[in-house]
Structure 1
Amino acid sequence: MESTALTTWSLEQTAADDLTPAAAPATVAAGELTVVRAAIPSPGFNRYLYGAVGADVSWTDRLVWDEERWRAFVEQPGTETWVAYERGTPAGYLELEGQPDGVVEITYFGLLPAFRGRRVGGHLLSVGTARAWDLAERWPGRPPTRRVWVHTCSDDGPHALDNYRRRGFRIFDVRTEDTAAGGPQK
């Protein structure tokens, strides 16, 4: 097995004011690009998004999930899926997972290959991060969000880390592991 290094960056925001939204692409003003919450949990839809977005960037950890595992994830309180649509076609998605004590993780974020490089990602990340900050408004009993965090790795798209940093996320941890030695897979 070939040995390769995988670097993982963990990033965070600790106040809603940390968010620096991307300028909305012209397709937003034209009504051609929208970001919508998938309000009805759908294991199959999340599985589709995960596979469609992650196929060429080495997302593998959820490929082994069965229907029940998907259902348990998407139906847990405080978990949301936000989907970018361009003229009715899914362009990308962002998953939020409400964790204890007002922490929200962006568990997955990405675009289908045909939509990369078109400013959709900055807009989707901006909207999704704002929704992480107001998650408690949609989930009664959840504490207000005090921290939003995410991780990305060297296998993700070449602009992922820069997009997070431009949106106001700060690196709080960096790890490099040998993937041949059983390092993490996204």
Structure 2
Amino acid sequence: MDTVAVTTWSLEQTSPEDLTPSRIPDEASGIRTVRAEVPSPEFSRFLYTAVGGDVTWTDRLPWPRSRWAEFLERPGVETWVAWQRGTPAGFVELDGQADGVVEISYFGLLPAFRGRGVGGHLLSYGTARAWDLASRWQERRPTRRVWVHTCSKDGPYALQNYRRRGFRLFDTRTEQEPAHEAPGPWPGA
């Protein structure tokens, strides 16, 4: 089986003051970000495949509906969706962990919305929500750390966007992984 070298960068913020927000899109852009408050495995899988299909997100593809539901119903898991004039543009998924730590487990844009200034805004918005997440579900404990990882399979501007938002690198690893063709947004796409 063919393999490919994949570099993974882990980044963090340790204070809400670390966040350097991007500009807020003007009202004419029609961008708004809304929490998907009802856990929906079908909607979350749609977002995952629509955003990650062309950049080889494959780890959740085998998940059955029950696994999606189990994950989404956990306390501390939130999905925030950016919409542009009624169309989903991207999402950020937050995973509250123990002791006031929040992972940005997934973040990305559908291909048609990349390069249009939406990503910086969505990451800023999602990171701000991560900083107040722990207080919403862990008996009012403050978030003390927000972390994320991105890899060389993600879009070419992902690492740069995280750094611009104030995330600092704390680990870099390069490993061989099985080579996959980008699955597209649906099987056989």
Q: Provide closer, same or farther for how the CA distance between residues 122 and 174 of structure 1 changes in structure 2, counting only shifts above 3 A.
A: same
3-state SS of paired residue (2:172):
strand
- Name the structure 2 match of 1:6: 6
Structure 2 residue 126 is matched with structure 1 residue 128 = yes
CA distance in 1, matches of 2:3, 2:91: 31
How many positions carry a matched residue from both structures? Answer: 179
| Cα displacement string for residues 110-164 of structure 1 (whole angstroms, at most 9, x for unaligned residues) | 0000000000000000000000001134325252100000000000000000000
Taking the TM superposition and a 5 Å limit, the aligned residue runs for 1:1-150 are: 1-26=1-26, 29-30=27-28, 32-139=30-137, 141=139, 143-150=141-148
3-state SS of paired residue (2:155):
coil
Moved more, 44-53 or 130-139: 130-139
CA distance in 1, matches of 2:174, 2:143: 29
The amino acid that maps onto 1:14 is: T
CA distance in 1, matches of 2:137, 2:99: 14
CA distance in 2, matches of 1:31, 1:161: 25
Sequence identity percentage: 69
The amino acid that maps onto 1:47 is: R
Runs of 4+ in structure 1 off by over 3 angstroms are none
3-state SS of paired residue (2:60):
helix
3-state SS of paired residue (1:64):
coil
3-state SS of paired residue (2:2):
coil
Moved more, 29-38 or 53-62: 29-38
The amino acid that maps onto 1:111 is: L
CA distance in 2, matches of 1:157, 1:142: 35
CA distance in 2, matches of 1:69, 1:57: 22
3-state SS of paired residue (1:4):
strand
Contact 1:102 1:142 in 2 (8 A): no
Aligned Cα root-mean-square deviation (Å): 1.3
3-state SS of paired residue (2:3):
coil
CA distance in 1, matches of 2:65, 2:3: 33
- Name the structure 2 match of 1:184: none
- Name the structure 1 match of 2:154: 156
The amino acid that maps onto 1:95 is: E
Contact 2:101 2:134 in 1 (8 A): no
Moved more, 37-46 or 150-159: 37-46
3-state SS of paired residue (1:164):
helix
Return 5+ residue gaps in structure 1 as ranges: 182-186
